[in-house]
Amino acid sequence: PCVQCNGGFRFAELLAFARRVGAPRLATGHYARIVEHDGKKLLARAADDAKDQSYMLARLDPRHLDRIWFPLGDQVKAETRAEAAEAGLPVAQKAESQEACFLAGDDYRSFLGRHGLQPAAGAIVDEAGDVLGEHDGFWRFTPGQRRGLGVSAAEPLYALSTDARTNTVVAGPRSSLARSRVMVRGRLFAPAVNVSAKLRYRSPALPATVEATAHGFELQLDSPAYGVARGQAAVLYDGDVVVGSGLVTDSRSD
């Protein structure tokens, strides 16, 4: 949700407010940089790779980047905390947030439960459709998840997919999660062929070949990705520079 919010709502509203109050630029505390690439301003990874937030900001429209400033992008988090402590700012000791802001400390399952998605028993099945066990809500599972399946098997099982219509979770071995082709609805910000593709915020970027399509692009990964799900953000890097982004619409193992 953060990728979509930043790209489609949050920064648009903040930039509109900045315009109303006469501010020439909007500065935020995100760890990312804005650089010149191929004759235009594009988003890039922060100097502090461990705190880099370029993935979360990758859907920002490059046309707006000349009005945005990320002053923390060239320093590491420890430096920021030290400067805040020296200035006597309480934020120097503030704990880091790991969840979307609207969750208010909950995980997403608790949040969805509070907003109408109540437990509902359904089947956990294997790839052949044979019942392996039960769950209490398909929405509690994402592709690649092991925790919560509660099914005993000869080998570790993972959630492969879910079906909202039948409230079914399909489970199988990790090998069944492998995907080498990924279709994305989005856009390329600069010409690119060989890129690093990041499909999850906490996962490493994977070498890939990208090909533009009518509504976005398609990735051929050099090595398989596991746990690719529709709706995930796909962010493409040329070195440190974000050269494309979008949302996964489909994936295949071939």
Comparing C-alpha atoms, which of 200, 240, 192, 239 is closest to residue 216?
192
Q: What is the DSSP letter of 77?
A: H
Regarding beta strands 68-69 and 26-27, do their DSSP bridges make them parallel or antiparallel, or are they unpaired? parallel
Q: What is the largest CA-CA distance in the chain?
A: 64
Distance separating alpha carbons of residues 222 and 45, to the nearest angstrom: 22
Q: Cβ(32)–Cβ(44) under 8 Å?
A: yes
Which of 5, 14, 178, 247 is an active site residue? Answer: 5
Which of 16, 91, 101, 153 is an active site residue? Answer: 101
Check if 2 is active-site. no
Give the pair of three-digit tokens for residue 96: 């880091």
Provide the 10 A C-beta neighbour count for residue 2.
18
Catalytic positions? 5, 101
